[in-house]
Amino acid sequence: MYFERLQHQQYVFLVGILLWHSIASLARNCCIEGETQEDPNDGISYYVCCGGTLVHKTCETGRTIFNSIRKTVRPIFSV
């Protein structure tokens, strides 16, 4: 009886951990359709929200960069 109860408690605990992890993962990836965010690793990449997921994009090499203030891809000379 004791071991059955212990197994049930472990099962409930594991389900709780999995549920918490799933919710945290969803919250991290939520975004507003069309929203843009800069890539913190470089100035020529950015993320755009497509269907609730942030998709990595790259600006045209040598001609454009992502303007983090305007949140748009701009020609280098107009930034």
pLDDT of residue 52: 82
pTM: 0.53
Give the 3-state secondary structure of residue 30: coil
pLDDT of residue 32: 86
Q: Which distant-in-sequence residues (6+ apart) come within 8 Å of 32 by Cβ?
A: 49
Dump pLDDT digits (tens) for 21-62.
665 555 555 788 888 888 888 878 889 999 888 899 988 777
